[in-house]
Structure 1
Amino acid sequence: MSIREQRKQQRREQIIQAAKALMLKSGIQQVQLQDVANEVGIGIATFYRYFANKELLVLAINNEITREMTNTIKHIAKEPITAYKQIDRILTYYIELIDDPEHQFVKFFKAFEAYKPISEETYEYKEFLDIRKEMANVLYSIAVKGMEDKSIRAGIDIPEYVFTVVQNISYFSVESYLTEHDPDLPVKLDPKKQLKLIREMFLQFIATKN
């Protein structure tokens, strides 16, 4: 990579980091591209050399956050523990993401649903697919390990169950924190306790029976 290309990559990363900080703090809808350009210290015309529109910038931020999560899961997958314990660690990690008092990440992911890629031929969209595939491969490798080390009971479709519970806890962590529960309910629901219940039920289901 030439010096010019390195500088261009550094500038692109600077834009993503600045936009990420602004959008996590204020929300996707509230941040304008001019706000990001001002934060980086560049003109709006220069900004458009890196991102043609807001949708691609939001997608790039989503990719950055998802890659961070994927790297954490990859680290867990390399730990010298059973697949069962690795799954427990991953589910706990997802649950702990909602501990942020301002719920920045869950608000971002919820708002991101409104930003559909305008073109599947863009670099950002291809990166989006690559990261999702990378995370899926890590989860699948853990499922295979569970079959090999027998820390997960036989007789179930382990990969299917692993993907199902991780996806559902991820989805529920976004939806539950942003949904006001019916005040007429006889109990006040605690989203984190609900997530822990889901995790415990799943872990009990896949545990090797002694």
Structure 2
Amino acid sequence: MNKRQQNKEERLNRIIEQAELLFLKDGFERVQMQDIADAAEIGVATLFRYFPKKDQLIVAAAVRNLAPTLETFKKLTTTPGDAYTRLEAILDYLLEQQMKQTNHSRFREAFESYASFVTSPLPDIDDYIELQREIMKTLEPLIEDGKTDGSLRGNLDVKATVVTIINAFGTFGNNIILKSHISYLKEDIEPFIQQRVLKEMLLAYVRP
């Protein structure tokens, strides 16, 4: 990559990074392209050359937000160990991310809510959908081993069960943490405890 291409790539990354921060802080609808250009320290005309529409930038920020999950899933689903151990490692990773990176989870929840309410599909939304598909594809080694290595209950539909467990755990964890400041009082059971309980319930279901 030559210097010009490198500068262009760095500028693109800075635009998306600043956009994500502003979207999270002020909401997708309130943030203007001029706000993003100012935060990225570029002219608004330059910003429009990268992203002709704000919704394209919103999707790009969502893809950037989700991309680290793909790399981590690739690693966790191919590490040594039986299917049960790797499934537990994925749940532990999701739990850790939910507890440590609330802004990360907040953005994803906000984006998916925004995308579901727009009147027409967002431009480039297929990039986000394809990334989700790639994340699910990383589960294939775990699923295949789960059918034969004896670490999961023998009468399960392994693929349906594994995918459902991961989706359910991720959705519940994000939801309970995001709403903890308005839904839970001191005397209630802490979100982390509820997540641990759900994790044990889900894993108990698949044990032989």
- Shorter-normalised TM range: 0.7 to 0.9
Contact 2:59 2:122 (C-alpha < 8 Å) held by counterparts: no
Alpha-carbon separation, structure 2, partners of 1:125 and 1:3: 30
Q: Percent identity?
A: 27
Partner residue of 2:69? 69
Contact 1:33 1:44 (C-alpha < 8 Å) held by counterparts: yes
Report the 3-state secondary structure (helix = DSSP H, G, I; strand = E; otherwise coil) of the residue aligned with 2:80.
coil
Which one-letter code corresponds to 2:167 in the other structure? Q
CA RMSD in angstroms, aligned pairs only: 2.7
1:16 aligns with 2:2: no
Alpha-carbon separation, structure 2, partners of 1:188 and 1:19: 36
1:173-192 → structure 2 map (5 Å cutoff): 173-179=173-179, 180-181=182-183, 188-192=188-192
Contact 1:84 1:152 (C-alpha < 8 Å) held by counterparts: yes
Partner residue of 2:45? 45
Number of residues paired by the alignment? 203
Change (3 A) 1:61 1:177: same
Which one-letter code corresponds to 2:103 in the other structure? Q
Unaligned 5+ segments in structure 2 are: none
Taking structure 2 as the reference length, what is the TM-score of the superposition?
Answer: 0.84
Partner residue of 2:59? 59
Change (3 A) 1:5 1:182: closer
1:111 aligns with 2:113: no
Contact 2:78 2:141 (C-alpha < 8 Å) held by counterparts: no
Unaligned 5+ segments in structure 1 are: none
Change (3 A) 1:78 1:27: farther
Which structure is higher in helix share?
2
Deviation (angstroms), 1:167: 0.7
Alpha-carbon separation, structure 1, partners of 2:119 and 2:140: 30
Partner residue of 2:131? 131
Taking structure 1 as the reference length, what is the TM-score of the superposition?
Answer: 0.83
Report the 3-state secondary structure (helix = DSSP H, G, I; strand = E; otherwise coil) of the residue aligned with 1:48.
helix
Summarize deviations over 1:100-156 as a string: whole Å, max 9, x none.
37x21232122211135776594x323212211111111233111211322112101
Change (3 A) 1:27 1:160: farther
Report the 3-state secondary structure (helix = DSSP H, G, I; strand = E; otherwise coil) of the residue aligned with 1:81.
coil
